[in-house]
Amino acid sequence: FLPSLHRSSMSCNMREWRHIFKERLSSAAQWEIREMCQEILRVIKPIAPTIFEDFEIDLKLEDVRR
């Protein structure tokens, strides 16, 4: 568990993000990783909607945490 004040950064091109999303949004991925990638997708998809149009934000995943 990381403290809430911890910040990290990561740099990827769109091709790398697509690969990360393909692997980490899969139902086989650990739910914490899927949740983190969902949040990243929520930020990136409005910036480049055409590139990420085939990835959906899973609203059911949010219910798992509640």
- Provide the whole-model pTM: 0.74
Residues 34, 44, 54, 21: what is their CA dihedral angle, to the nearest 10 degrees?
Answer: -30
**Between residues 62 and 38, which one has the greater pLDDT?**
38
Query: How many whole angstroms from its chain centre is CA 57?
Result: 9
Convert the pLDDT of each residue in 6-59 to its tens digit: 677 878 899 999 999 999 999 899 999 999 999 999 999 999 999 999 998 887
| pLDDT score at 3 | 59
